[in-house]
Amino acid sequence: MVVPLNGRMLLSMHRTTDMTCMTQLRFSRWGFWLSALIFLLCTALWLTTFPDLYSSAQAPLWIPLGVYLLAHCLRAIRLSVLLGARQLRPLLGMYFYTAACSAIIPFKLGELVRINEVAWWTNSYWKGLLIVWVERVFDVAALILLALLAFALSPYLPGQLDVLLWAMGGFVLLTLVVFFIVPEQLASLNLHVMRSYQGRKAIGILRLLDSFQQLLDQARPLLSGKTVTLSLLTILIWLAELSAYALLFQDAPWRDGTQALVMQLTLALGSTASIELLPAVAQLDHARLLLLVCMGVIALGIYTKMRQRLHNSPP
C-alpha cells in the first residue's frame, strides 16, 4: 500500500533541495582544503622519522614496490568502474591523493577524505559514501579469505586475528542486510511515520528516510552488471598485494608472504596484539608508504588545479 505525501510536506521537502546542493558544494570545497592541509601536516610529521627508518634498509625493493604500485593502479580501475569515469587524469589524481590520505592520516580519518572527494565527483554525499562502502566490502571479503588461508598455513598468528575475522564477517553481513533486507521494510516504516507523526517532526523523519531510500536505491544500479568485474579486479588487487610480500621470501614465498600480509593488515586495522614484523617486511611497509605519500603529494598538486578549473563541476 502506497500512501502519498500531502502537498505541504512535498513542498517543504523540495524547497530544501537547491539549498542542500549548494551546501554540499561549499562543504566539499572546505573539506578538500582542510584535508589537504591535514595531509601535508601529517606527511611532514611522518617524514621526520624517515632517516632513522631508512638507515635500516638493506634489500632492494624495486620489484615489490612495482607490484605494489600495480595493485594501486588496479584499485584506480575498480574505482573508475564504480564511478563510470571517462577522464583518466582527474580520476588518477583523486585516487592517489585520497589513497595517500587514507595511509598517512591517523585513525583511518583519511576515509572521510575519500568520501568527500568521491561525493564531489558524483554530486552526492550519499553516493560517495555508498561507493567507498562497496569498495571496502569487496576488500574485506578478500581479507577474510586471506586470513582463513593464513590460519590454515600457520598456527603462529596474532591471537586477536580471530576477533578481527568476526568483525569483518559482521561488516559483510551488515552490508547484505542493509542493501537487500532493509529496503523491503522502508515502505512500512514510512506509512507508520505518516500515521503517527505530524508537522516538522514528520517532515524531518520522512526526509531522513527518503535520503536513506535514495542511498539504497543507488546500491543495486551501482552494482548491476559490474559485480563480476569488481570481483575479478579485487582478486587481482589482492594477488598483487600478496605477490609484493611473497617476493621478500625465498623458501616458501606464498606461505610466508600470506602470513606477513595478514600480520601487517592486523596492525593496520588497529590490533593491540604484540606483533613483531620481520625486518624485510617492515622495510617494505615503510618504502611503500613513502612511495604512496610521494605520489599523493604530486597528485594533490595536479588534482587541485583540475578541481579549481572545473569550478566544482564533476568531471
What is the chain's pLDDT, residue by residue, as a tens digit (315 residues)? 444 445 444 444 444 444 466 677 788 889 999 999 999 999 999 988 765 545 555 557 889 999 999 999 999 999 999 998 777 888 999 999 999 999 999 888 999 999 999 999 888 888 899 999 999 999 999 989 888 887 777 666 655 677 778 888 999 999 988 887 877 778 788 787 888 877 787 788 888 888 778 777 777 788 888 999 999 999 999 999 999 999 988 888 888 888 888 877 777 665 545 455 677 788 888 889 999 999 999 999 999 988 887 654 555
Q: Which amino acid is at 98?
A: T
| Residues sharing a CB contact under 8 Å with residue 199, sequence separation 6 or more, in sequence order | none
Residues belonging to the chain: 315
Q: Which three cell numbers stand for residue 89?
A: 587524469
Buried b (16+ CB within 10 A) or exposed e, 300-314: bebbeeebeeeeeee
Please tell me the predicted confidence (pLDDT) of residue 157: 60
Please tell me the predicted confidence (pLDDT) of residue 72: 96
Other Cβ atoms closer than 10 A to 8:
10
Please tell me the predicted confidence (pLDDT) of residue 22: 67
**111 φψ region: left (φ > 0), alpha (ψ -120 to 50), beta (else):** alpha
**Interatomic CA distance for residues 280 and 284, integer angstroms:** 6
The reported pTM is 0.83
Chain position carrying cell 568502474? 81
